[in-house]
Amino acid sequence: MNTAQGCYCRLHHTSLLAFSGEDAGKFLQGQSTCDILALQQGQSTLGAFCSAKGRVIAVFQALRLGDDFFLSVNSTLAERLRQHLSRYILRAKVSISDVSADYTLFGVIGDTPPEVPIAVAGMVMTFSVNAPALNLYAAPIAQTEELLAEFKQQSLRLVDEMLWSSEVLRHGLPDIEEGTTEAFIPQMLNLDLLNGIGFKKGCYTGQEIVARTHYLGQCKRRMFRLTATSIPKPYRAGSTIRHLNGSDDSLGTVVSASVPEQQRQELLAVINLSDINSLPVGLTLEALPYTVEAGKES
């Protein structure tokens, strides 16, 4: 399938959280890794929320609309994240709500995103501009059928959500879910290479650990894209990748995995930099649209 021609799918495993109130931006700035206050109207960015120990609780895409912010997150973490962040509100004038039921979410894949009136499209978040571009459309429920008609008129093809997940993986975009929450620090997920960390933005929860790793160059693991073949059993998010020397030594952890086809899987996995050039038989290093310096501890 030539995804450059354009296709779309419904996103059943993504939730939408809304942050509203006059302190919404300031609140998110103090909780997230990205410089969310630098967003202009209609702009989106990648970011993460961390624990006090600097471990990533969830990765998100954020969109600014006026003084409100909308974040797309993995559905397995939406309620946990809402409850977690609510504990930090204190006297801030901000409300956090899951508005997923008010919108229909679509993933659109293609080099040329469809031209749809904003009143119909609702919200558009840019996940990646690398070919094929990835965009999330969040249409208000009342506009869903109209948006689908626009997709059809512009010859977009309906595909399975698995294709969207595979393209997100191939673009090197981490998707944290229930089984991998608080397993990694942001640099392990390459968020610094994806403009998902603002090192000059000031303090936020977990910032001390993230900054120390950056300035002292102590990130000894990075996320890589791999192909697994002749696998005895499928990998899944959170699976341990082990050496094939009979030991229990781990060389990495799976962040996300495609649905296996004919004993072949695509993976994003956080791998020890000291092991990336000596992967076991059956694992092959694949290219990403950004540079990860394999074999260099930085």
Task: Give all domains of the chain, ordered by start, each with its CATH number.
Answer: 3-170 (3.30.1360.120), 186-286 (2.40.30.160)
Per-residue pLDDT at 1: 52
β-pairing verdict for 157-158 and 7-10: parallel
Provide the H-helix boundaries in the chain: 24-29, 78-86, 118-121, 144-153, 161-170, 207-216
User: Which pTM value belongs to this model?
Assistant: 0.94
**Secondary structure of residue 242 in the 3-state scheme:** strand
* Buried b or exposed e, range 241-259, using 16+ CB within 10 angstroms: beeeeeeeeebbbbbbbbe
Peptide bond into 132 cis (omega under 30): yes
Q: What is the structure's pLDDT at 275?
A: 92
Q: What is the pLDDT of residue 118?
A: 83
Phi, then psi, of 104 in degrees rounded to 5: -110, 125
What is the longest distance spanned by two Cα atoms in the chain?
Answer: 59
pLDDT at 2: 56
Contact 258, 271 (CB under 8 A): no
The pLDDT assigned to 296 comes to 47
Please choose, from the candidates 128, 102, 124, 105, the residue with its C-alpha nearest in 3D space to the C-alpha of residue 115.
Answer: 124
Q: Distance between CA 94 and CA 18 in Å, rounded?
A: 10
Name the strands in the sheet holding 221-229, side by side, starting at the edge strand that comes first in the sequence.
240-242, 250-257, 264-272, 221-229, 283-286
pLDDT at residue 298, rounded to an integer: 39
Q: What's the confidence (pLDDT) of residue 214?
A: 87
pLDDT under 70: residue ranges of the chain = 1-5, 244-248, 294-298
Cβ count within 10 A of residue 216? 8
Cα 245 from Cα 222, distance rounded (Å): 22
Report how far apart, in Å, the C-alpha atoms of 276 and of each of 180, 267, 294 are. 21, 14, 6
